[in-house]
Amino acid sequence: MSPSPEAIGVAAILVLVIAAYALFGGADFGGGIWDLLAGGAHRGSAARKLIDASITPVWEANHVWLVFILVLLWTAFPPAFAAIMTALFIPLSLSALGIVLRGVGFAFRHTAERLRMQQLTGATFAASSLITPFFLGTVVGAVATGQVPDHPAGNVLAAWTSPTAILTGFLFVGSCAYISAVFLVLEARQRGRHDLLRYFSLRATAAGVVTGGLAAGTFAELSTSAPHDFAGLTGIALPLVAISITAGIAVLGMLWLRWYHALVLRLTAAVAVATVVWGWGLAQYPYLFPTSLSLAAGSAPTAAMVAEFVVAGLAVLLVAPGFALLYFLQQRRMLTTAVTDAELRLAARLEPAVPGQPAPAPASTAVRLTTALVLAVLAIRAIKNVFSPAGKNK
């Protein structure tokens, strides 16, 4: 039975969102990976400062893509969602743990005062940035090889520990490091940091070569572990594979020639990553799980699929402009830590003074306005309670 046009359309949206998360979320994870590899506190301080400045305004927002993926998979393809969440519970849980620890480490690293605590929280952030993409990659590898049963009774260890799944995990890590290094090259150029420009150019080149080798190894492994996907990648999806390879080589060439055109370099690197995801989705058609669960059998009713289109349209109208504005402001360095950390700074300024310590700096205008608004709201509510019938009866 052939899948309905609605099911095909929703599946295409799902693949597009997965590609968006691989691109934008992957760049954030890659920043943490380069943070991990930056070296000691003194030697890696400049690189870490650039990484922080690059991802601080946007790192939380990029998980919107992951939420959209999970909700879309759950509501549009419930049999596949149930099987994945059951059979791959361990790698998914480790990925979620990495996301939580990454957020905790990143947030507390900026507020910790002692060097030891800064190092601990920084190591937590960096290590989690490596763990999460790896285990997400093993999940994709397990799905691609068709080792996820339709009705699993529990975790299927062999599904996400196979050579293909492990290689896919490393491929995800390499892709995150690659796309992040390319973006950091442009960030360093924009800020006039020529030392970091060369620093991240070398790392982007190395990550591109390593990722290409991992992609070739994974592709060769698919010929025996996932023959259906391999046939699709060498057949209907071959043009996308060729585009990805060409774009990856073009990025390496631009870096070698030191031609740092922001739009062209960023777009070419994005195409190199996104077309891999699109090629995988096209190669797997018409199956959700190759040869075991078809797209037609695993889809929700037509009415639910129509609702998915409505939700996707609302996301385009409401969420996409917000992301565009966020990236626009971030690229022009109009987002500062003074705004994002306003609550923490306010709490620090309201602490009682300790004898012998210098007085804190005056509160900024934004903090004073926030405090005034909070006090005004509390005062209005108090007056309302006094003059209300309930307040008079007290």
3 state SS for 172-221: HHHHHHHHHHHHHHHHHHHCCCHHHHHHHHHHHHHHHHHHHHHHHHHHHH
Q: Which of 8, 114, 20, 91 is nearest to 324 (CA)?
A: 20
d(CA 298, CA 3) in angstroms, rounded, equals 9
| Residues 6+ positions from 157 with CB-CB distance below 8 Å | 90
d(CA 238, CA 235): 5
At 384 the three-state DSSP class reads: helix
Question: pLDDT digit string (tens) for 249-301?
Answer: 999 999 999 898 888 999 999 999 999 999 999 999 999 999 889 999 999 99
Question: Tokens representing 212?
Answer: 């290409």
Token pair recorded at residue 312: 């996707």
Whole-number Å distance between alpha carbons of 90 and 156: 9
pLDDT of the residue at 374: 55
Which run of H or E residues covers position 275? helix 262-284
Contacts of 115 (CB under 8 A, 6+ apart): 41
> What is the C-alpha to C-alpha distance for residues 186 and 266, in angstroms, rounded to an integer?
8
Ranges of residues in the chain whose predicted pLDDT is under 70: 57-59, 112-113, 333, 335-394
Q: Kindly report the pTM of this predicted structure.
A: 0.81
C-alpha radius of gyration, the chain, whole number: 24
Say how many CA atoms lie within 13 Å of 378 toward its Cβ. Answer: 6
CB 367 within 8 A of CB 346: yes
Rounded (5°) CA angle 321-78-138: 80
Tokens found for residue 84: 């994945």
Write down the pLDDT at residue 381: 59
Which pLDDT score is estimated for 250?
Answer: 95
Closest CA to 132 of 164, 163, 95, 175: 95
Which amino acid is present at 170?
Answer: F
Other Cβ atoms within 10 Å of 42 Cβ, number: 7
Give the per-residue pLDDT at 356.
52
How do residues 166-201 score in pLDDT, each as one tens digit? 999 999 999 999 999 999 999 899 888 888 999 999
Beta bridge partners of 294: 287
Report domain extents, the chain: 5-335, 340-393
* Residue whose C-alpha is closest to residue 284's, from 304, 264, 298, 267: 298
Q: What is the pLDDT of residue 306?
A: 93
Which amino acid would we find at residue 267?
L
